[in-house]
């Protein structure tokens, strides 16, 4: 059982370049999330998808777009990368079923992105 | 809305105890605790639901005071493997189901 898989693990971009971070989960979870983690800031939610076909903004969505391709996959796109987007990006998923009390989030290994 | 964690950092000797606190200004449905080792993903430790329950995991336990919207993580007889950064994630009452807001973390270092 792979859990949550993120690709790539590392990426270096030049300012203005675009790229897509990929995330896939094999736990049949309904909800998926993208976070960024910066030193001393904790994990901040960029976008989330409560179910296949829906996406919503989180705390820090500016400069990003997302696609929930199907139930398994949730991608994050940087259209024109900026140095302020240098960060570690984590994808997570949870069952988040109505009536389920314990919505535990499971995280991927992260993508370390540097924008020069 | 971000929960406040305290302390920001703590250094322990093996065998010592520590308490990490997480406080929210909003009414909470649940509090989740995660541990993250350097260069790795956060790993789920335990969840506390509204109702004030106390959960345990090895020598790590936690409590949730829903009247004060506070949770505390207790680490007893600490081991070297407990080193890492601990995050609380709060799920708001009336918020999007399953969405968490994380604190800034508490860095725990356990020395031999």
Q: In this predicted structure, what is the pLDDT of residue B93?
A: 78
Burial B2-39 (b: 16+ CB within 10 A, else e): ebebeeeebebeeeeebebbbbbeeebbbbbbbbbeee
Q: Which residues of chain A are under the pLDDT cut of 70?
A: 1, 97-101
How far away is chain B from the Cα of A50, in angstroms, using its nearest Cα? 8
Distances (CA, A) of B65 to B17, B48, B70: 21, 10, 5
pLDDT in tens, B5-37: 999 999 999 999 999 999 999 888 889 999 999
Which of B2, B41, B98 faces A94 most closely, judged by CB atoms? B98
A48, A101, A109 member nearest B99 (Cβ): A48
Residue A101 to residue B49, Cβ atoms within 8 A: yes
Q: Within a 13 Å sphere around the CA of A84, how many CA atoms are in the beta-carbon half?
A: 6
Q: Which of B2, B41, B98 sits opposite A107 (nearest CB)?
A: B41
Report pLDDT for A90: 98
pLDDT at B89: 94
**Two tokens, residue B54:** 């106390």
Nearest to A58 by CA among A73, A69, A79, A74: A74
Identify the pLDDT of residue A98.
Answer: 63
pLDDT in tens, B67-106: 889 999 999 999 999 999 999 999 887 777 778 999 999 9
The answer to whether the beta carbons of residues A35 and B41 sit under 8 Å apart is no
Are A67 and A79 in contact, with CB atoms under 8 Å apart? no
- pLDDT at position A15: 97
Residue B1: its pLDDT value, please? 83
pLDDT tops 80 at residue B2: yes
* Cβ–Cβ gap A105/B91 under 8 Å: no
């Amino acid at each position: 059982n792979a859990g949550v898989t993120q690709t790539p693990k590392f990426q270096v971009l030049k300012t203005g370049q675009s790229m897509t971070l990929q995330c896939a989960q094999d736990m049949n979870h309904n909800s998926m999330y993208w976070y960024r983690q910066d030193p001393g800031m904790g994990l901040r939610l960029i976008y989330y998808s409560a179910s296949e076909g829906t996406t919503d903004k989180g705390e820090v969505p500016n400069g990003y777009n997302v696609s929930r391709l199907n139930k398994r996959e949730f991608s994050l796109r940087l259209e024109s990368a900026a140095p302020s987007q240098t960060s570690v990006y984590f994808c997570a998923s949870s069952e988040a079923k109505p009536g389920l009390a314990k919505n535990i989030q499971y995280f991927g290994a992260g993508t370390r992105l540097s924008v020069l | 809305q971000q929960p406040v964690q305290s302390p920001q950092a703590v250094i322990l000797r093996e065998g010592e105890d520590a308490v990490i606190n997480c406080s929210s200004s909003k009414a909470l449905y649940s509090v989740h605790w995660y541990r993250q080792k350097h260069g790795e993903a956060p790993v789920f430790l335990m969840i506390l639901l509204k109702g004030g329950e106390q959960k345990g995991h090895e020598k790590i336990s936690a409590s949730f005071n829903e009247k004060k919207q506070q949770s505390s993580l207790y680490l007893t007889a600490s081991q070297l493997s407990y080193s890492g950064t601990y995050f609380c994630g709060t799920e708001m009452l009336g918020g999007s189901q399953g969405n968490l807001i994380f604190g800034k973390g508490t860095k725990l270092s356990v020395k031999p």
